[in-house]
Amino acid sequence: MADSNHNRAWVLCAVLACATAGAAPYDATAPIDLEAASSDFDYRNNTLLFRRVKVSQGGLQVEALEARATGLNFENSKWDLEGQVRLTVPDGKLLSDSATVTFRNNEIVSATVLGSPATFEQRLERTGELARGRARTIEYDVRNQTVRLSGDAWLTDGPNEIQGNTLVYDIGRQRVAANPGETKPGGVRITINPKEQNPQRKPKAGQPEPERAP
């Protein structure tokens, strides 16, 4: 039974990996663009407040109703975003109530999104199915290309699902680790819904049943 569950997990992980296999890479050398409906600069405390803000760089885009930062400096800073937060990544998106985005050396290196729950979705290139995930916290590591879902984490590729307290999806290695380091049994749950093979069409009302071969 353990081997069966392990194989089923890898079936789901392989399918989820297809979501990002054809995604355009993030360009960290691209310039950072910032747009906002309004801004408030506090020179005495070196703080900034942006409303209806959008920050984008090379395939990544962050939007929120409000963003607060200490100085307009992307060398080494953290931005706190609130309200209708949307993080657009290559071929996908993350949605949440709030988020913290970290900039280092003029590039976006990570984003932590919080929600009730925070969600993400991505269209699977090969199957056309919509891969979706949710958790109380989702951490997107841009440099290491990993997505970590924590707190009632759930992933699906459409028909199949995997659940655990923590799910870590490694985009580069195309692997999903569920509850890494945990030893207590029962912490991971996998649901495989097999597709119906050669379904028989039911006759419409008033039509005779199709004859069956002897």
Where do the structural domains in the chain lie, given as residue ranges? 2-191
Q: Residue 129 has what pLDDT?
A: 72
- Whole-number percent of the chain with pLDDT over 90: 19
Residue 5 confidence class, pLDDT cut points 50, 70, 90: very low
Segment 112-135 shows an average pLDDT of 81
Q: Tokens 């706190």: give the residue.
A: 80
Residue 4 confidence class, pLDDT cut points 50, 70, 90: very low
The class level of CATH for 2-191 reads mainly beta
Q: Which residue, among 139, 176, 148, 197, has the nearest Cα to 16 in the 3D structure?
A: 176
Residue 96 confidence class, pLDDT cut points 50, 70, 90: very high
Which residues fall within 8 angstroms of residue 149, CB to CB, at 6 or more apart?
A: 133, 134, 135, 137, 138, 155, 166, 167, 168, 169
pLDDT tens, position by position, 169-208: 776 666 777 876 665 655 566 666 665 555 455 555 555 5
